[in-house]
Amino acid sequence: MSSTQAEAKAPGAAAKRLLTHRNIGIMAHIDAGKTTVTERILFLTAKIHKMGEVHEGEATMDYLEEERKRGITIQSAATSAEWRKHTINIIDTPGHVDFTAEVERSLRVLDGAVAVFDAVNGVEAQSETVWRQADRYGVPRICFINKMDRVGADFAFSVQSIVDRLGARPVPIQIPLGSEKDFKGVIDLLAMKAYVFPEDGDGKSYETVEIPAAFKDDAAKARHFMLEAAAEFDDKLLDMFVEDQEPPTELVRAALRTGTLKMQITPVVCGSALKKKGVNFVLDAVVELLPSPLDLKQIEGTLPRSDEKVTRKVEDEEPMCLMAFKTIAEPTGDLTFVRVYSGVMLASERYLNPRTGKTERVGRLVRMHANKREAIDEIRCGDIAAVIGLKNTVTGDTLCDEDKPILLTKITFPECVIAMSLEPKKSADRDKLGEVIGRLMREDPTFRAQTNEATSELVIAGMGELHLEIIVNRIVNDFKCEVVTGKPKVAYKQRLSRAVETEARFIRQSGGRGQYAVITCKIEPYQTPDSGLEFVDAVKGGSVPREYIPAVEHGLREAFGGGGRGGYPFINVRATLMEGKYHEVDSSEMAFQSAGILAFRQASENNVTLLEPIMKIEVRVPDEFMGGVVGDLNSRRGEVTEVDSLGNLRIVRGFVPIAEMFAYSSALRGATQGRGSYAMELAEYRDVPRNIAEKVLAPDKS
């Protein structure tokens, strides 16, 4: 038994370890400063000894070539650090909406998060998206108002935008000591002291001083607001607050932590990550206010292929269960990031994958620091690390003890909205391209590829133009496979317009044994849980023999997945097999499968409504250009729902079909002299207007 295993068996040792453990994510809108915050954290915790800058393409966590070239985070990166005798696992997530799946799968396994906001812009479009994702997974968070030294920085505005745009309840535990070029430090509302950072300091040192007279009133009001919020979570503190007594700092901190874990308040700190001011207090807040794995108490799941609920305690002694939340396909085998929820994962052991029903042998275990790896022997309960060598485990899969199976809740991912054709430049590379596409699909759950049956062309789909551009660049540069791409197209979907009852007759006679299958199906629009096809067997009296019914279902699903005449995926269909006829000699599984295909094709003929992705858009433009921008959005079938002001900027929000938004960035730059910016994300699918649908579905005569 290893020393670490012996320690795990010692009473209370695991609990003590878990209490000093934090699994957090850094999340925000693009350019709010997430990666810079992470870089400063790594420097402060002595994980690195030289800070790299995002704008210079030298950030530790942005290690992909595309990330360094563009100065943005594309895929989430994991690392760990030590602060005040606490181990902190950190995942730095992307801020661009095209890579929102990276945020989704990270938040699924994290216990807490730091939401970073730009002090000038407050809550931006993608800030809202990641906040909702954290709400969905029940992730407590703290807020860091960054860039307090920028021209136009406004702490009060940023805090109010969290209330107005997110419906949250931010509670500042610090306020800034000055702003813009006069930003010098922060005022701690718990200790009622001011901390002043030297102008060219390293972020570790600061001077503690009395609160300057000019800030005393603001600090007193902010402290009163903080105490009022904290008092809701502790009766003793409430009594002291009502009687106007001075409460102990630890009592206030404990009450703030309780409110944070209940997700009823969100503590707020501030600083300037680029200037190395205030990130140390972010780490303090992570340690003091965000949850440890023990705060989960127990993990809920179900028995595989059953709805029966089962639970696991967050303890090393429990049966092992984990979630695989990210896969990177590599030549030597997949690198799979995992979060262990209970038990201890050991190298070289076999564990059950409930999705496949098969066991997987664990290869090597490693702790990640961006793209660097440190070999380890085990991954303990509550920890995040990576596994090398899993062959059939993908994002969202559970691995568990074979004798004590459990299936954890899966991760949900948004729909693709953009597609394009792709083919190799050399026909000899066709097999290689297929292999590369398969690897990329394993890595990225929002990247799809399929061959169009009618044209035999390979079509790839993703979350946006940037997403597909980076995928294509990786195919060419990383995998050395030259390709030719078509123009980006909208990823339309189809639904049935009305219910149809149809009889499908598949009868072939060509001498010898023939093919005979007759079925009657009711095929109708129906809201299914996974937006797919629901099959209902309503056959009575054996008019279709039991052994042929699965073949009918298979045929219906094949036609459903084929997209019919338009070639676009169908959604939300229920197919009920009502009756049929068979022949003692000529009937076969193949005949009934063909009848299923025919039934769906007959039901969908002239009976489809085309659906298009509608994007939620936010455009920020100087006041003088607003009229032109709104007019342009209206001409693109856009619907403007709200216009806000931010200084001399106008923030236009609304909805617009993605079909009208190709190359919009160039049009916006031209219309605003390069001063406009925008962000958009998928809101919903809506029916395409009839005149446009006819053009989309018309046969291509080229």
Q: List, as one string, the DSSP characters of 413-441.
A: -PPP-EEEEEEESSGGGHHHHHHHHHHHH
Mark 507-526 as b/e (b = at least 16 C-beta within 10 Å): eeeeeeeebbbbbbbbbbbb
pLDDT over 80 at 69, yes or no: no
Q: Are 105 and 20 in contact (CB under 8 A)?
A: no
Residue 427: its pLDDT value, please? 87
pLDDT tens digits, one per residue of 344-384: 999 989 999 999 999 999 989 999 998 889 999 999 999 99
DSSP conformational letter for 306: S
Residue pair 171/225 in contact (Cβ under 8 Å)? The answer is yes
Cβ atoms of 301 and 342 within 8 Å: the answer is no
- 87-114 pLDDT, tens per residue? 999 998 888 778 888 999 999 999 999 9
The SS3 call for residue 84 is coil
The amino acid present at 587, given as its one-letter code, is S
CA 82/CA 41 separation, integer angstroms: 10
DSSP run (H or E) holding 90:
strand 86-92
- Indicate if the pLDDT at residue 699 is higher than 90: no
Indicate whether 514 pLDDT > 80.
yes
Q: What is the pLDDT of residue 700?
A: 61
Write the DSSP symbol of residue 402.
T
pLDDT, averaged across the chain:
91
Give all strands of the β-sheet with 86-92 in edge-to-edge order: 77-83, 86-92, 21-28, 112-118, 141-146, 266-270, 170-172
pLDDT band of residue 331 (cuts 50, 70, 90) is low
Residue bearing the bigger pLDDT, 508 or 566: 508
Please name the residues in contact with 595: beta carbons below 8 A apart, sequence gap of 6 or more: 504, 505, 506, 517, 518, 519, 552, 555, 580
Cα 109 from Cα 24, distance rounded (Å): 9
Contact, 207 vs 177, CB < 8 A? Answer: no
Of 42-51, 118-127, 680-689, which range is least confident?
Answer: 42-51
pLDDT tens, 30-52? 889 998 999 999 999 988 766 66
Residue 121 has pLDDT above 50, yes or no: yes
- Position 52 scores a pLDDT of 60
What contacts 24+ positions apart, CB below 8 Å, involve 84-88?
84/283, 84/284, 84/287, 85/20, 86/20, 86/21, 86/22, 86/287, 87/20, 87/21, 87/22, 88/22, 88/23, 88/24, 88/41, 88/45, 88/283, 88/286, 88/287
Write phi, then psi, for 116 (nearest 5 degrees).
Answer: -100, 130
pLDDT bracket for residue 702 (50, 70, 90): very low
Residues 6+ away with beta carbon under 8 Å from 6: none
CB contact set of 107 (below 8 Å; sequence gap of 6+): 25, 27, 113, 130, 133, 134, 136, 137, 139
Residue 635: predicted pLDDT: 96
Contact partners, residue 152, CB within 8 Å, separation at least 6? 120, 180, 647
